[in-house]
Structure 1
Amino acid sequence: MKKTLKTIANWLNIDCGVYGDTVVTGVSIDTRTIQKGDLFIPFRGEQVNGHQYVAKAFENGAAATLWLKDEPNPPSDVPVLFVDDSELALQEMARQYRNEHKAIFIGITGSNGKTSSKDILASSLSPYYKVQKTIGNLNNQLGLPITILSLDEDTEIAVLEMGMSGFGEIEFLSTLARPHYAVITNIGEAHMQDLGSREGIAKAKFEIIKGLDEHGVLFYDGDEPLLQNLVGKEPNLNVESFGFQKGNSLVVSNIVMTEKGSRFDVRGELNGEFFIPVLGKHQVKNALNAMLISKSLGLRDDQIHFGIEQAQLTDMRMQLINSSNGILFLNDAYNAAPTSMSAAIQFMQTTNLRPEKWLVLGDMLELGENEKQFHESIADVIDEAAIQKVCLFGPRMQWLYEKLHNKFANENIIHTNDDYEQITQYIKQYANEDSLILLKGSRGMRLETILDSFK
């Protein structure tokens, strides 16, 4: 973005004072990461008032700042735009910039796999287009506007991740971004405590069609009956489905894992054998929407082949890490819900990467009143004949421990509520160069902390 302060003031229907020619090249809400030319946006919260950092923002290169009209002592010698509400101003700026941007916008939501799908799609299209994607977890009512305002004016494809915790949030993000293509990766159990049921989760995710371009296309997990039912109620909606079951627009089969990634066959909108340098059956499924979108954009089959071979995932998504003592870690610790944890465990039980397989599992959060049942259900996924060691971390994993401890010898399973060191020492005592260790838990459990002792 490269706009004068006068243009931004016009977007917000306010006065820019004498600094109308000041050029703004981005926005920031954090002085620690602010870039030269950014418009600083201070928020006033219960604990911190961002206005106290405005001077620091200018020291670090800010070109201008917003300032709440009812906040006292505004600076008088720097470019300032006075607004009633910082969040609404940020969102309106993003809306105006989106309205004039020429890129193809793609919105991605789902219970699991949003970030992986975003990464695979962005990297597979990058050889052919200028692509920008959501950075980190900037996927909510603040993050999405920041992402939109960070788009270069010549960006051709914008891949936007959309997260939520309750009803109405995806609808807001979708109507703000107005995607040409929308993706629903799957329906799991995350945010069950807020949405009540998987049906509620599906309904909330399906809100992504609210802002979909009238000629746009929804790509969705066709193996999910809840999504099939919702799609069936929208006869005028353009849809493409992907999955393992017959009848999808793109069906995947014959998945073979190697040390370098996953080889698989597809039939339907595309046909043939493909390869992606990512591990996991569930990650192959995440690649299918990228392949369908690539096809819709007009890429040839050989270009799609080459594109997905360039796929790169954000750290802590099925990330292989070699330790100094030869242990191989599979770091999938960015987040977890029953669906994604089951998928990771099933991968471990079928892979030939290493002969000895370990599970280090952390609590799954935000599962609501049925969280005990969800943790206990993981026991049905774990095959004690295929898994040699189990380490459970977090108070909720006590429920899984009680289900598993009779299946494993005492020396092969441990549980701790909050002691990373206990698990670290257990790994150091028993693991070796034959060991593959999965780290999987919700973000709040920070299981990647265990890796610090093995770098």
Structure 2
Amino acid sequence: MKRTLKEIANWINIDCQSYSDTIIKGVSIDTRTISEGDLFIPFRGESVNGHKYVAQAFEKGAAATLWLRDEPNPPTDMPVLFVEDAELALQEMARAYRHEHQAKFIGVTGSNGKTSSKDILASMLTPFYKVQKTIGNFNNQLGVPITILNLDEDTEIAVLEMGMSGFGEIEFLTKLAKPHFAVITNIGEAHMQDLGSREGIAKAKFEIILGLNEDGILFFDGDEPLLQNLVNSQAQLTSKGFGFNTSNDLVATSIETTEKGSRFTVQGEVNGEFFIPVLGKHQVKNSLNAILLGKNLGLTNEQIREGLSQVSLTDMRMQLVPTEQGILFINDAYNAAPTSMMAAIHFVQSTSLREDKWLVLGDMLELGDDEQKFHEQIANAIDAEAISRVCLYGTRMKWLYEQLKQKFANEYLMHTENDYDQIVDYIKRHANEKSLILLKGSRGMKLETVLNSFK
């Protein structure tokens, strides 16, 4: 972005009293990550008042700042725009910049796999277009506007991750971003406590079509009946399903895993063999929407193949981590819900990477009233013939522990509510160069702490 302060003031319909020619190159809400030329946006919360950091923002290179009208002692010798509501101003600026921007916008949502799908898409397209994507977890009512406002003028593809915890949130984000293409990766159980059922989750994710361009396309998990039913109810919607069922527009078959990644064949709108340097059948499914999008953006099969071969995911997504002790970890500890937990377990049980296979599992959060049932049901996915040892962490994993006592002898199963060191010590005593250990739990469980002891 390169706009004058006066142009930005016009975006949010306020007067620019002075410094109207000051050039703004982006926005920031955090002085720790501010860049030269940013517009600093201070938020006032219960415990932190961002206005206290305005002077520091200018010291670090901010070109201007917003300031709430009812906040006392505004700067008198610096470029300032006075607003009634900082969040609303941020969103209106993003709306205006999005209206002016010529990039193709892609919105990505889903219960699991949003970040992986975003990363796969961006990585695949980067050799052929100038691509920018959501950084980190900037996927909410603040993060999406910030991502839009930090797009370069010449960006050709913008991949925006859209998260939510309740109804109406995806609708707001998609109407702000107005994507040309939308992706729904899957429907799981995350946010069950807020949305009540998987049907509710599906409806909340499906809100992404409400901001879709008139000639836009929805790419969705065609293996999910809840999504298929919603798609069927929208006669005017252009959509393409992807997955493993043969009824999809793009189907993956013949999936093979190596230490370097996953090789698979696709049939349908695109045909041929592809490879991604990422582990897991569920990650193969996440790559299918990228293949469809690449095709619809005009890439050849060979270009899609080349792009996928260079894919790189954000850390803690089925990330292979070797250690000096010879133990091989799969760090999938960024988040967890029953669907993604079972997918990761299935991968470990079916892979031939190592013969001594371990599970280190942490609590799954935000599952609502049925959280005990969801934890207990994970036991059905665990094959005691394929898994050597299981370590469980967190208060909720006590439910799974009680179920697994019927499958594993005491010396092969352990549980702790809050002590990482117990798990670390257990691994050091029993794991070796033949061991493959999956780390999987909700973000709040921070299971990567276990891995840190082996780095």
C-alpha distance in structure 2 between counterparts of 1:180 and 1:328, whole Å: 41
Letter in 1 for 2:159: V
Structure 1: how far apart are the matches of 2:381 and 2:169? Answer: 33
Aligned residue for 2:232? 232
Unaligned runs of 5+ in 1: none
Alignment gaps of 5+ in structure 2: none
Give the drift of 1:400. 0.1
Please tell me whether residue 144 in structure 1 is matched to residue 150 in structure 2. no
Partner of 2:295: 295
Structure 1 equivalent of residue 15 of structure 2: 15
1:421-440 to structure 2, matched below 5 A, reads: 421-440=421-440
- 3-state SS of 1:364 partner: coil
Alpha-carbon distance in 1 for matches of 2:411, 2:332: 25
2:322 matches 1:322: yes
Give the Å deviation of 1:416: 0.3
What does the per-residue CA deviation read over 1:337-378, in whole Å, with 9 as the maximum and x for residues that have no partner? 000000000000000101100000000000000000000000
Distance 1:103 1:110 in 2: 23
Given the two structures, how large is their TM-score scaled by the length of structure 1? 1.00
Q: Which amino acid aligns with 1:363?
A: D
How far residue 406 of structure 1 moved from its aligned partner, in angstroms, is 2.3
Shift of 1:18: 1.5
Aligned to 2:38: 38
The answer to whether the aligner puts 1:274 opposite 2:274 as a matched pair is yes
Residue correspondence of structure 1 range 366-381 to structure 2 within 5 A: 366-381=366-381
Q: Normalised by the size of structure 2, how large is the TM-score? A: 1.00
Q: Distance in 1 between matches of 2:216 and 2:390?
A: 46
Which residue in 1 is equivalent to 2:383? Answer: 383
1:204-219 map, 5 Å: 204-219=204-219
CA distance in 1 between partners of 2:386 and 2:241 (Å): 33
The equivalent residue for 1:111 is 111
1:231 & 1:18 partners in 2: Cα distance?
A: 51
Cross-structure match for 2:66: 66
CA distance in 1, matches of 2:272, 2:22: 54
Q: Distance in 1 between matches of 2:41 and 2:312?
A: 32
Report the alpha carbon displacement of residue 266 of structure 1 after superposing the two structures with TM: 0.9
List structure 1 segments (4+ residues) > 3 angstroms apart after TM superposition: none
Q: Deviations over 1:62-85 (max 9, x none)?
A: 110000001111110100000000
Distance in 2, matches of 1:452 and 1:230, equals 43
Partner SS, residue 141 of structure 1:
coil
Aligned equivalent of 2:353: 353
SS across alignment from 1:171: helix
Code of the residue aligned with 1:429 in structure 2: it is: R
Give the Cα separation in 2 of the matches to 1:103 and 1:184: 21
Residue type matched to 1:178 in 2?
K
Kindly, what percent of the aligned residue pairs are identical? Answer: 74
CA distance in 2, matches of 1:298, 1:123: 16
Write the letter of the residue equivalent to 2:160.
L
Partner of 2:140, secondary structure, is coil
Aligned AA for 2:187? Answer: I
**Is the partner of 1:32 in helix, strand or coil?**
helix
C-alpha distance in 1, partners of 2:245/2:188?
18
Alpha-carbon separation, structure 2, partners of 1:323 and 1:258: 18
Q: Distance in 2 between matches of 1:217 and 1:452?
A: 42
| Paired position in structure 2 for 1:243 | 243
C-alpha distance in 2, partners of 1:59/1:333? 37
CA distance in 1, matches of 2:86, 2:414: 49
1:332 alignment partner in structure 2: 332
- Give, in whole Å, the separation in 1 of the partners of 2:17 and 2:421: 58
Paired position in structure 2 for 1:396:
396
> 1:85 maps to what in 2?
85
Query: Counterparts in 2 of 1:151-190, with a 5 A limit?
Result: 151-190=151-190
Query: SS of the counterpart of 1:127?
Result: coil
SS of residue paired to 1:263: strand
Task: Note the C-alpha offset of 1:301.
Answer: 1.1
Q: What letter matches 1:66 in structure 2?
A: L
Tell me which amino acid in the other structure corresponds to 1:69: R
Work out the CA distance in 2 between the residues paired with 1:452 and 1:311.
Answer: 25
Encode CA deviations 1:133-187: one digit per residue, 9 max, x unaligned.
Answer: 0000000000000000110000000000000000000000000000000000000
Distance in 1 separating the partners of 2:28 and 2:190: 29
Residue identity opposite 2:344 in structure 1: A
CA distance in 1, matches of 2:169, 2:453: 40
Letter in 2 for 1:285: K
What SS is found at the alignment partner of 1:294? helix
Partner letter of residue 9 of structure 1?
A
Question: C-alpha deviations, 1:83-141, integer Å up to 9, x for none?
Answer: 00000000000000000000000000000000000000000001100000000000000
Give the 3-state SS of the residue equivalent to 2:31 in structure 1: coil
Say which SS state the counterpart of residue 219 (structure 1) adopts: strand
The answer for the alignment partner of 1:199 in structure 2 is: 199
